[in-house]
A and B are shown apart, each in its own frame.
Chain A
Amino acid sequence: MYDIKNIRSLFPMLKNKKMQGKNLVFLDNASTTFKPQSVIDAVVNYYSNETSNSHRGDYDLCYNMDVKINDVRNNVANFVKCNPNEVVFTSGDTMSLNTIAYGYGLKFLKPGDEIILTEAEHASNMLPWFKVAKITGAKIVYIELDENLKITVENFKKVISKNTKIVSIAHIGNILGYINPIEEIAAICHSFGAILVLDGAQSVPHIETNFKKWDVDFLTFSGHKMCGPTGIGCLIGKYELLIKMDSFITGGGMNVTFDKNGHVEELLPPAKFEAGTLDLAGISGLNEAINLLTSIGMDEISKHDKELHDYAVKKLENNPNIIIYNKDTDTGILTFNVKGVFPQDEATLLNSKGIAVRSGQHCAKAFTKLCENNATVRMSTYLYTSIEDIDAFVDALINGGDILDAYFA
């Protein structure tokens, strides 16, 4: 039994918050998520009781911090099913992807090599590859999406070749929320000698992750999309690849020694990729976010997201004014337009009712096949979203009135 009432009671942002004078209904969870009190307390506790740097002192506070980082690394490893020394702490998904693009791509790509992406990728999984392709002379190739705008294994097989060196795709797309067939794609990648980079920004928070079983080479995600703090995320990489690739950001904490002639001996992974002071408060908070997700259960969370998505579809699909682009998605992302209404205008109308959704191109500006102007409204759920939230959203969409009510009501 999914105890939504108890879950909601853990989140201060769900307690009597108002927006535009109305009860806040937060349906922009693909963008970011609320934090439970346990995460907030962990962050505050670092600043109130545990403040110290890591790796840099001979006193107890610092030692305790090192122990804690180690514990959280183990917790992350258990959560995504990898070895602890394969967990690199970064500032988030974007930094993780840049670290792979510059640390691995820049080192190994040659002119004529190919990087496979899809047109539906988020900017964070496109722009770093554009830069690296430009520098190395590698070429970007796109998997053609099928008529339902999904990635299929068949279409993937059409573009992969012996020239393919890197395939980088989202596990769950941030616009339509489809779960991509990652295990099959990984196996095909490896049969061509390519590596698979999995952008897990939308998947790690919502579905069970199994880095080892899926046999992906790199996995990236952000803490803030899974009830954790902003500014912390992870790069998971197969250890032999982390050894092989270059560091990206360099500085203190990632080297064994260096001299004035420029000779640097780097630490082993993961420290090799963790230059500078880590976001220690963020790491403390991420730990509690993982504890919450684990205590609820990832399968329960995925089921909850899908139930809410399907419930919204059922309520809206017969309305002739609403165009839904992803009725059959297995996640909590619902993307739509209201006929004749500009998506930003619809989002403003929903804002006037206290409902937070995202409108626009959702950072996937190369994805032009969906609709006119490439812009939609996106509603996205999470573990604390209630049926009442969806009811309020559906009611506002159907009975919300004129878009100018937002300014004149």
Chain B
Amino acid sequence: MPISLDNNMMRQIIMDHYSNPINKHQPKDDGFAKVHMHSDNCIDDLDIFLKVNNDVVVDACFDGVACTISTASTDIMCDLLKGKTKNEALYMIEQYHHMMHEENFDADVLEEAIVFINTSKQAARIRCATIGWNAADNILKEKK
């Protein structure tokens, strides 16, 4: 669990996922569920794609226009979702939301997503840090 990440490492992780978001692309095959999300207070305008087989998220990607925080947070989320069962994924998303709102959260399941722990310092950007996560939550709950 990378809770010991220092600030510089966390910044580097965010910038890496923003500069080179490996999950930012259209789905490469069929069977994806899609949710479109846009923000009221940012230009974020994203499609999130999840492929769920036998209760397991087998693939995740996203595409669209997004700021640093929304791009990096969604890219990291896609990495973390892959291979998780729906219940594991929903639990992780719930813990991420707790972190956003400075509530107690289970850091163990958030892995690299812990880099967004300071988002509440810029409260206007919580929406950006959660836009992809809310989309995934919608898809998973729809499919539950």
Q: Which A residues contact B (CB, under 8 angstroms)?
A: 20, 342-345, 348, 351-352, 359-361, 373-375, 402-404, 406-408
Q: List 9 A-B contacts (CB under 8 A).
A: A344-B43, A344-B67, A345-B69, A351-B124, A374-B43, A407-B119, A408-B7, A408-B11, A408-B118
Majority secondary structure of chain B interface residues (helix, strand, loop or mixed): helix
Q: Nearest CB to that of A341 among chain B residues? A: B68
B122 at the interface (CB under 8 A from A): yes
Could you tell me the distance between the alpha carbons of A361 and B42 in the complex, rounded to whole angstroms? Answer: 9
Told that A344-B125, A348-B125, A403-B68 touch, could you supply 18 new A-B pairs with CB distance under 8 A?
A20-B121, A342-B67, A343-B43, A344-B67, A345-B69, A348-B122, A348-B124, A351-B124, A360-B42, A373-B65, A375-B43, A402-B11, A404-B11, A404-B15, A407-B118, A408-B7, A408-B10, A408-B118
Least CB distance, B132 to chain A, in whole angstroms: 15
Residue interface mask B92-121, A partner, CB < 8 A = 1 = 000000000000000000000000001101
**A344 and B42 contacting across the interface, CB-CB below 8 Å:** yes
A403: B residues at CB distance < 8 A: 68
Could you tell me the distance between the alpha carbons of A373 and B43 in the complex, rounded to whole angstroms? Answer: 8
Could you tell me the distance between the alpha carbons of A218 and B10 in the complex, rounded to whole angstroms? Answer: 55
A-B contact count (CB 8 A): 48
B76 at the interface (CB under 8 A from A): no
Q: Which B residues contact A (CB, under 8 angstroms)?
A: 7, 10-11, 14-15, 41-44, 65, 67-69, 118-119, 121-122, 124-125, 128
B11: A residues at CB distance < 8 A: 402, 404, 408
**B42 and A404 contacting across the interface, CB-CB below 8 Å:** no
Least CB distance, A237 to chain B, in whole angstroms: 32
Which residue of B42, B43, B44, B122 is within 8 Å of A407 (Cβ)?
Answer: B122
Which residue of A20, A342, A361, A373 is within 8 Å of B68 (Cβ)?
Answer: A342
Instruction: Enumerate the 6 nearest inter-chain pairs by beta-carbon distance, A residue then B residue, closest first.
Output: A407-B118, A342-B67, A344-B67, A408-B7, A375-B43, A344-B42
> Which interface residue of A344, A402, A406, A407 has the most chain B CB atoms within 10 A?
A407
**A345 and B67 contacting across the interface, CB-CB below 8 Å:** yes
Q: Nearest CB to that of A372 among chain B residues? A: B65
